[in-house]
Structure 1
Amino acid sequence: MSFLFLFYIEVGFVSLKKTALWLGLLAIVVKFSGFLRESIIAKEFGASHYTDGYLLAFSFITLVIAMISGGFNNVFLPMYVKNRKDEPEQTEHNANAIMNLTVLLFLVISFVGWLLAPYFVPLIYGKMTLETAKIAISVTRFFFLFMSAIALNGILDSYLQGRRIFVPSQISKLSATLMGAIFALLFSDQWGINSLAYGFIFGTVLGILVQLFFLWRKDWRWTPALKVEKEFQRAFLVLLIPSLLNSVVGQINMFVNKSFAASTIPGAVTYLNNASLITSIPHTIYGTTIAVIIFTLLSEQVDEQKKFQNTFFMGMQVSLLTLAPIAAGLLLVGQEAISFIFERGKFTAHDTYNTYLALLYYLPTIVTQGLQYIVSKSMYARGKTKVVFRISVTTIALNALLNWLFVGPFGYPGLALTGSFVSIYYLVVSTVFVYKDFEKKEATRLIGLIGRVLIVTAFMVIPLYLLKEFTPISSLYSLWQLVIIVPLGVLFYVAGLFFFYKEGFNQLLNLLKRKARAQGR
């Protein structure tokens, strides 16, 4: 999606902000459909070796999706769009050949993965229980049979973006997520945890058909080409290798985390997954709405140092002002939120508490990942992609080391703590690189911002904590606690901004007005 924003800026597409905001809303719908799926999983299977095994197997799906939607598409899409303007027929031929070759490659990967899954799954995930290993191997083998379909689904997304068609790709993602949930709800008695996998693949195939239909309407035609023009092929491969490497760094860290989690207690992978899902919601919403506007401004002002610095500071300011209170609020009502979302059927109060333990250690990532969005995009805007890659690669070693150090004394929550430490490290190092090109006073300005936001957040948290501790509110049903505490938290936080940080208060108001104007275009 980041390339998409830059592409719009380059071609002068006047409704960039409006389009990006609509795409953001669709992305949020997809994200919340994931919540629905996880809620149904919790109801039908609880937190057990079934859910752990499924989540371990699903990691291979997320790896392929990251490689295609990140590594592959970030290279394929710009080349396809650029060359299609000058040589439409030759470009379509090259694109078809690349798609066909990629699908054929994944057919080979599918067969090898299906054949060797009983060997590499235990090797990657280490000390799984026998029950978890059985589920993980079985579901992994099934998923590998359809890896080429998953790859094709991602490639078609590139074609659609290249033709400025965006809704079908979001429908495709929604289809895969929702079908997994629906199949689990309808067929879990007959197929058990496998119903999730069957539903996901069914939804993926349905998504492919939707994307093909819309492409066909735009006069796209498939050809059985396998030969790529040498110049196009050379340029594609030169860019593809570093892009793929960059796209899998996060997935490698995920595999390491799940490997350690599988060796702790039954349900640990599920607890970490559910906690991570909750903490990812705020910065996902932020990254697909408000941050879209900020990134656009950064890209437009890359050659104007003063404006760039001010916009970067505004991005950090808005990130802290919007995400810090959410993290603090989840500290107070995280357990109630988990209870309301997951605690039903086979997901017990004990599972809720175990998930909350992981959530507590994940809380810093809500803020750090939101800030990292601004920091990384500012580096991308200035062409420092190699610096971003070098920093991200170092997180692999740090992640593995900290997992090894923390899993003993902390158990599975220590893996969440590792995630927070790695996120903080990534943010601090990246920010240092950004501020090397800024005036020295900008660093002081940022430190002052952090101090003010801490004061305002404390103004919100302290009265809410006292309310929970010294009134009967904590004995209410989880939903009613959320209904009372969340609006009060918003009121206290806005009041704190008004009294202690009026600049931030006005900045949020201005950004909301900017967003409203963008939606009205």
Structure 2
Amino acid sequence: MVIRSFFTNSIGILVSRILGFIRDILTASILGANLYSDIFFVAFKLPNLFRRIFAEGAFTQAFLPAFTRATKKGLFAASVFLRFSFFILILTLLVMVFAPWLTKLIAFGFDEATIALAAPLVRINFWYLLLIYGVTLAASMLHYRGHFATTAFSTALLNLAMIGALLLSNTQDPHQAAWNLSFGVLVGGLLQALTHLIALKKFRLLKVFLGSIGRPKKSATEPSFYRNFFHGVLGGSTAQLSAFLDTWLASFLAFGSISYLYYANRVFQLPLALFAIALSVAIFPNITKALKREGEEKARRFLEKGFWILCYLLCAATLGGTLLSHEITWLLFERGSFGAKETLNTALVLQMYLVGLLPFGLARLFSLWLYANQMQARAAKISAFSLMVNIVLSLALIGPLEAAGLALASSLSGVVLFALTVHAYGTRAFLAIMRPQNIIGLIGVLLATGALVWIIKEILRGYL
């Protein structure tokens, strides 16, 4: 069940990421790495930050255990939906009013003229948060039923909508292209919401959910859910807040620095999403149910299986991605307005991000144990300390290494996050996972990856 769900998520994410790379190729070609690409990425950063922290991160990790325990699941889901929707709507209206101030907060180094260009795009993009929140709640209910395909593949709809917006922008100026991309984000969000409504109806969850909307009675499970959600906001937000910090500091550097970070992070996010996030999404309901019904030992077996799968995949991705960073960046982005200089800068940033691929991926896996055991407060303290490390390192490294220093600081904070998460899980329990036969297998995977990288470099040598 776990392996099937993992492959379902991985294939869905792979399809979405392939379309995402097509989107990024078009974005790099049409917008390049300059003022107009920077203002769009800044505008898209804010709803993405809130989406990953509130919707996909803390919300899912708090909602699914509470939904599993709830006796009246429809009533619980409906009550949470109404309260969160009201909060997000108020937040969105505030963003509409204070968009220039928020834009300045995201990119403090922007001058007034640049902020004036970016603020309208911030207003447009932020409406995506309300749409994707509904998608996330629906996805959590579907995951409880063991259905992952709709959520895994629906992200492709966002990329298709943005690709369509870019194709319409091919003959237009970069400023108009940034506007078109922003409206493409909203169209993609609407399509994602529609597909999840259809899936809820298919699995007979929509009727139960809508039938409870008119009964605003508070569910008995809600107090613990909101408490865990509040702690989970910090506990699941390290990577997102790190990316936000990178953007804020990069706004003080030369134009294009934000774009280097964006393009490199997009490549970095592929193996992280394809392996770590896909496996975490698949395994979390199993760990939660095992702890409730079958005991801790069964849940630990799920975690151990996930650990070695991730070790093999993420170690190979780290080695291959680091050695082929220039070739990957050249192949994906170097065309149109994106030249050789942009390739070199983006490849260096990518190498620094890849240092943190394994620790971030494994930290996400072991954090599931904390969330399933309702230890969100412990996870929040770990995340807060990791974030402080990131801030200190970012300030120390931005001077000598510029954008690459910000990426390296993020990766090193991931190492701290992993170490502290494993300590919370239990150092002795973690060491019990380290079986010699698996370590030998890991060495074999790395040797095979090194040989494959050498072959690829020889093939591409004549083109670079």
Question: TM-score, structure 2 length as denominator?
Answer: 0.83
Question: Which residue of the other structure, out of 61, 67, 76, is the alignment partner of 2:63?
Answer: 76
Question: Which residue of the other structure, out of 336, 341, 359, is the alignment partner of 1:345?
Answer: 336
Deviations 1:222-260 (A, max 9, x none): 366373326354344333322333333433222211101
Deviations 1:50-77 (A, max 9, x none): 1111111112111232212222233334
Structure 1 position 140 matched with structure 2 position 140: no
Question: Which residue of the other structure, out of 190, 193, 207, is the alignment partner of 2:178?
Answer: 193
Structure 2 equivalent of residue 388 of structure 1: 379
Q: Which amino acid aligns with 1:76?
A: F
CA distance in 2, matches of 1:100, 1:146: 17
Structure 2 equivalent of residue 369 of structure 1: 360
Q: Which amino acid aligns with 2:264?
A: A
TM superposition shift of 1:335:
0.7
8 A contact 1:125–1:260 mirrored in 2:
yes
CA distance in 1, matches of 2:171, 2:146: 42
Deviations 1:304-351 (A, max 9, x none): 49x959974x76555444333432223332111111111122211211
CA distance in 2, matches of 1:335, 1:180: 26
Change in Cα spacing, 1:247 to 1:382, as seen in structure 2 (3 Å) is closer
Change in Cα spacing, 1:433 to 1:167, as seen in structure 2 (3 Å) is closer
Question: Which residue of the other structure, out of 416, 430, 439, is the alignment partner of 2:421?
Answer: 430
8 A contact 2:6–2:279 mirrored in 1:
no
- In the TM superposition, what are the counterparts of 1:238-249 in structure 2 within 5 Å? 238-249=227-238
Change in Cα spacing, 1:149 to 1:288, as seen in structure 2 (3 Å) is closer
CA distance in 2, matches of 1:235, 1:453: 40
Change in Cα spacing, 1:125 to 1:450, as seen in structure 2 (3 Å) is farther
- In the TM superposition, what are the counterparts of 1:18-57 in structure 2 within 5 Å? 18-57=4-43
Question: Which residue of the other structure, out of 215, 219, 222, is the alignment partner of 2:200?
Answer: 215
Change in Cα spacing, 1:374 to 1:146, as seen in structure 2 (3 Å) is closer
- In the TM superposition, what are the counterparts of 1:451-462 in structure 2 within 5 Å? 457=446, 461=450
Structure 1 position 225 matched with structure 2 position 214: yes
Structure label with greater radius of gyration: 1
| Structure possessing the higher relative contact order (Cα contacts under 8 Å, 6 or more residues apart) | 2
Instruction: Count how many residue pairs are aligned between Structure 1 and Structure 2.
Output: 452
Structure 1 position 114 matched with structure 2 position 100: no
8 A contact 1:25–1:288 mirrored in 2:
no
8 A contact 1:21–1:288 mirrored in 2:
no
TM superposition shift of 1:358:
0.5
CA distance in 2, matches of 1:155, 1:309: 28
Change in Cα spacing, 1:391 to 1:45, as seen in structure 2 (3 Å) is same
Deviations 1:164-223 (A, max 9, x none): 544333343221222012211223545321111111101111222222233345362436
CA distance in 1, matches of 2:101, 2:282: 47
CA distance in 2, matches of 1:75, 1:315: 21
Provide the secondary structure at the position in 2 that maps to 1:231.
coil
TM superposition shift of 1:271:
0.8
CA distance in 2, matches of 1:132, 1:114: 18
8 A contact 2:236–2:380 mirrored in 1:
no
Change in Cα spacing, 1:400 to 1:302, as seen in structure 2 (3 Å) is farther
Choose 165-174 or 447-456, whichever is displaced more: 447-456
CA distance in 2, matches of 1:69, 1:265: 32
Change in Cα spacing, 1:116 to 1:183, as seen in structure 2 (3 Å) is same
CA distance in 1, matches of 2:6, 2:311: 22
- In the TM superposition, what are the counterparts of 1:262-341 in structure 2 within 5 Å? 262-287=251-276, 303-304=296-297, 312=304, 318-341=309-332
CA distance in 2, matches of 1:81, 1:455: 40
- In the TM superposition, what are the counterparts of 1:2-17 in structure 2 within 5 Å? 15-17=1-3
RMSD over aligned Cα atoms: 3.7
CA distance in 1, matches of 2:74, 2:452: 62
Choose 99-108 or 228-237, whichever is displaced more: 228-237
Change in Cα spacing, 1:291 to 1:74, as seen in structure 2 (3 Å) is closer
Choose 368-377 or 258-267, whichever is displaced more: 368-377
Deviations 1:80-104 (A, max 9, x none): 4543xx54xxx53453343233223
Change in Cα spacing, 1:98 to 1:311, as seen in structure 2 (3 Å) is closer
TM superposition shift of 1:417:
1.1
CA distance in 2, matches of 1:450, 1:474: 32
Q: Which amino acid aligns with 1:153?
A: V
CA distance in 2, matches of 1:148, 1:288: 22
Deviations 1:12-64 (A, max 9, x none): xxx44323422332122223322222111111111111111111111211123
CA distance in 2, matches of 1:447, 1:362: 29
8 A contact 1:172–1:203 mirrored in 2:
no
Q: Which amino acid aligns with 2:315?
A: A
Provide the secondary structure at the position in 2 that maps to 1:345.
coil
Provide the secondary structure at the position in 2 that maps to 1:437.
helix
Q: Which amino acid aligns with 1:65?
A: R
Structure 1 unmatched ranges of 5 or more: 1-14, 479-521
Change in Cα spacing, 1:456 to 1:109, as seen in structure 2 (3 Å) is closer
Q: Which amino acid aligns with 1:72?
A: F
Provide the secondary structure at the position in 2 that maps to 1:193.
helix
Q: Which amino acid aligns with 1:170?
A: A
Question: Which residue of the other structure, out of 374, 395, 399, is the alignment partner of 1:404?
Answer: 395
Structure 2 equivalent of residue 508 of structure 1: none
Q: Percent identity?
A: 21
Change in Cα spacing, 1:467 to 1:322, as seen in structure 2 (3 Å) is closer
Structure 2 unmatched ranges of 5 or more: none
Change in Cα spacing, 1:165 to 1:316, as seen in structure 2 (3 Å) is closer
8 A contact 1:139–1:194 mirrored in 2:
yes
Structure 1 position 126 matched with structure 2 position 105: no
Question: TM-score, structure 1 length as denominator?
Answer: 0.75
Q: Which amino acid aligns with 1:21?
A: F
Q: Which amino acid aligns with 1:361?
A: M
CA distance in 2, matches of 1:35, 1:139: 22
8 A contact 1:160–1:166 mirrored in 2:
yes
CA distance in 2, matches of 1:291, 1:106: 26
Structure 1 equivalent of residue 161 of structure 2: 179
Deviations 1:257-309 (A, max 9, x none): 1101111111111111111221222233232667789886996897449x959
CA distance in 2, matches of 1:188, 1:266: 22
Structure 1 position 101 matched with structure 2 position 86: no
8 A contact 1:338–1:356 mirrored in 2:
yes
Choose 164-173 or 108-117, whichever is displaced more: 164-173
